[in-house]
């Protein structure tokens, strides 16, 4: 999330020092999150809830008491007990999006709530359920998919349409007036249209969406979102180059934990159908909220414990936190 100018300054400096006109002077650069940020004495989002702030810092530092290796107990008043998948998800939705049908108009209501989970498949499942609950008539946009390097027509359009790929919008985009969306591409950063910006749909046209920016310095600004062609990166393991022309957005009733980084969500639900799988991921999810009271966690238990309570894995590599 660093500014472009700071990365360019490092690039030019290393080229000057080494005398090698290659990116970063030919040096291999590894760029990751600021692991040291977890060593603060107070979590600034939860500054008004001292207990929750201390709990978050212990989770982030890996000092929260654990059992069976990495499993920590989530406080009982923050948990929703798992019964069946369908019923438990409904209970989580009701806890976070209370009175959804009667509170769809205020922008603040919709943007102050989200459900975070680990994988895109689960995000899509929750978003599909939420848009069904949302009042109003749905507008459906279908993508135009092609395989650019498929000269022998080995991959039919129906197959390309069926692909759900991280970083790309879905083939079938179902929206309603007032629903929350999140941008997947940098369109116009100077005017607030950056990857990760959350917006509210206001009106629909065949090839443009009228939306209002819901967060940040440009909050309240009305913008028009175009349908654009998007391609996968060279690193994606597909035997063809997929190009999808679609609006660069997804519904954001629910989002992945990784996508939520940098966001502040006063009412946050966390659904863990499986344990987190990367360093600090549980901390990122829990620390999006502001208080213990308005943070709810639903865990699909993957093992049994002799102690009472709801347990989930907390992945922290302590060595990266050492001074």
- Kindly state whether residue 38 falls inside one of the protein's structural domains: yes
Q: Are residues 23 and 47 in the same domain?
A: no
**159 and 229 part of one domain:** yes
Domain annotation covers residue 132? no
First-residue to last-residue Cα distance in the chain: 23
Query: What's this model's pTM, rounded to 2 decimal places?
Result: 0.81
> What is the rounded distance in angstroms from the CA atom of residue 309 to the CA atom of residue 50?
22
Residue 279 resides in a domain: yes
Collect the ranges in the chain with pLDDT lower than 50: 36-39
SS3 state of residue 322: coil
> Which of the listed residues 237, 253, 269 is the one where a domain comes to its end?
253
Q: Which domain holds residue 186?
A: 137-253
| Same-domain status, 146 and 221 | yes
Residues 149 and 221 in one domain: yes
pLDDT at 221: 93
Residue whose C-alpha is closest to residue 228's, from 256, 249, 257: 249
Tally the domains of the chain: 3
For residues 196 and 268, membership in a common domain is answered with no
Contacts 24+ apart (CB under 8 A), 155-158: 155/240
Same domain, 99 and 157: no
Q: How far is 169 from 230, CA to CA, in rounded Å?
A: 9
SS3 letters for 15-28? HHHHCCCCHHHHCC
123 in any annotated domain:
no
Is 129 part of any domain?
no
């Amino acid at each position: 999330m660093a500014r472009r100018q700071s990365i360019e300054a490092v690039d030019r400096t290393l080229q000057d020092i080494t005398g090698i006109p290659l990116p970063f002077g030919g040096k291999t650069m590894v760029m990751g999150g600021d692991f040291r940020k977890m060593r603060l004495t107070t979590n600034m989002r939860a500054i008004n809830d001292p207990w929750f702030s201390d709990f978050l810092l212990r989770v982030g530092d890996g000092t929260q008491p654990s059992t069976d290796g990495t499993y920590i107990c989530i406080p009982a008043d923050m948990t929703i007990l798992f019964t069946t998948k369908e019923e438990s998800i409904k209970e989580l939705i009701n806890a976070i999006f209370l009175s959804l049908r009667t509170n769809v108009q205020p922008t603040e209501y919709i943007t102050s709530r989200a459900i975070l989970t680990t994988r895109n498949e689960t995000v899509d499942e929750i978003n599909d359920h939420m848009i069904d609950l949302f009042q109003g008539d749905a507008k459906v946009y279908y993508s135009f998919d092609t395989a650019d390097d498929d000269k022998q027509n080995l991959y039919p359009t129906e197959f390309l349409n069926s692909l759900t790929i991280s970083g790309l919008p879905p083939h079938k985009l179902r929206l309603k007036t007032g629903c929350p969306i999140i941008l997947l591409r940098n369109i116009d950063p100077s005017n607030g249209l950056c990857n990760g910006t959350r917006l509210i749909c206001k009106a629909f046209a065949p090839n443009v969406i009228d939306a209002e920016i819901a967060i940040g310095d440009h909050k309240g600004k009305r913008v028009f979102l175009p349908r654009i062609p998007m391609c996968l990166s060279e690193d994606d393991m597909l035997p063809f180059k997929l190009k999808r022309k679609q609006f660069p957005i997804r519904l954001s009733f629910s989002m992945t934990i990784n996508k939520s980084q940098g966001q502040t969500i006063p009412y946050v639900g966390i659904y863990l159908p499986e344990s987190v799988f990367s360093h600090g991921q549980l901390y990122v999810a829990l620390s999006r909220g502001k208080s213990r009271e308005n943070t709810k966690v639903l865990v699909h238990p993957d093992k049994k414990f002799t102690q009472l309570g709801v347990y989930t894995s907390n992945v922290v590599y302590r060595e990266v936190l050492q001074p």
